[in-house]
Structure 1
Amino acid sequence: MKKKSFIYQTWWIGLIPMLVGFIFMIVATVIQLVPMDGVDINSVYTENASAIRDFRFIFLAAFGGTGLFIFMIGLLLIGYPKYQKVKNQRLKEQGIKISAEVIDFQGTALTVNNNRLTRLTCTAKINGTDYIFKSQPLRLNPVPFLKNDLVDVYYDLGNMKRYFVDVDGSVRDVVEL
């Protein structure tokens, strides 16, 4: 069976704007291919070729540009979680690993399906200084499943703001049926 992840996955949210943007761009492209003999611009019918070309260009820019913008937002919503995953994997491979003590498990301001997303807060002492680390948004409470009530944290010694709280790697094997 596949091990269940506690981290809330958000990449799928980008599929909706990508689909809407793609449909807008298809409509804008189809309008460019439809033959037009004349066009009604501001209640004035014209068969002027330059007026028709200008109308097509404005429609392509407005509809296709909007579609492209929405499509790019969808790509960003899909690409950012993938980038975070690669960055976290790099921190796991190259960063310094410490075990941090859990101090809090609380809800965030984010609500998905009428459930508040939660975040795990933990602390560790590094070189005599106490640091507080916060996890990514979580779906479930991982505290009962933690090994020795400690969470693995990977950080970059050059920049302490770059860290990753490895909740999934710190819990025992959990399978959701």
Structure 2
Amino acid sequence: MNDQGDVSFALSDRAKEAITRKYYLTAGKVAETFGVDLRAIRISGSELARALAEAEFDYKAMMRRRQSEATGLSASKFAGMLAFRLARFKIVHIVSDHAETKHCFLLQEAIALVLVFNMALKMNAPVKQVLELAYQLARRHANQETLALCFDAFKLASRPTGA
């Protein structure tokens, strides 16, 4: 991977373990922000593993198209691919009717987005600032490429003026 982030370990077993640990931590943070008791949700470890396996497949395909690690993959493209896969698999399950809050239906997408902002883009993304993007990912058409463009825009917008 090149520019703006270092996920040079890509989706090795070590990386997948790190992403898995961060996913659980991020789920707690996002659930708290949404006012959802963490006991009211379940995270499917098997679905998370499947999402990461699919992301690894995507990553390898992207790298083959680029034909060389030297040209690499931008942090935004990697983040878009990972967020897309983490949002598409059925990882987060609401197990209590008492968990329903205004944005509860965006929980999984928000977790995916906050995770990639932190891990792949090295940016802090307050949960409430990713709600619109989470909605697009959950209820409208958003693909990996669209997400990568959004992440590029976030990075540009976060740069100091004149940089």
Of Structure 1 and Structure 2, the greater helix share is in 2
The question of a shared fold, defined as TM-score above 0.5 by the shorter chain, is answered with no
Q: Under a length normalisation based on structure 1, what TM-score does the superposition of the two structures give?
A: 0.24
Of Structure 1 and Structure 2, the greater strand share is in 1
User: Relative contact order (alpha carbons < 8 A, sep ≥ 6): 1 or 2 greater?
Assistant: 2
Q: Under a length normalisation based on structure 2, what TM-score does the superposition of the two structures give?
A: 0.25
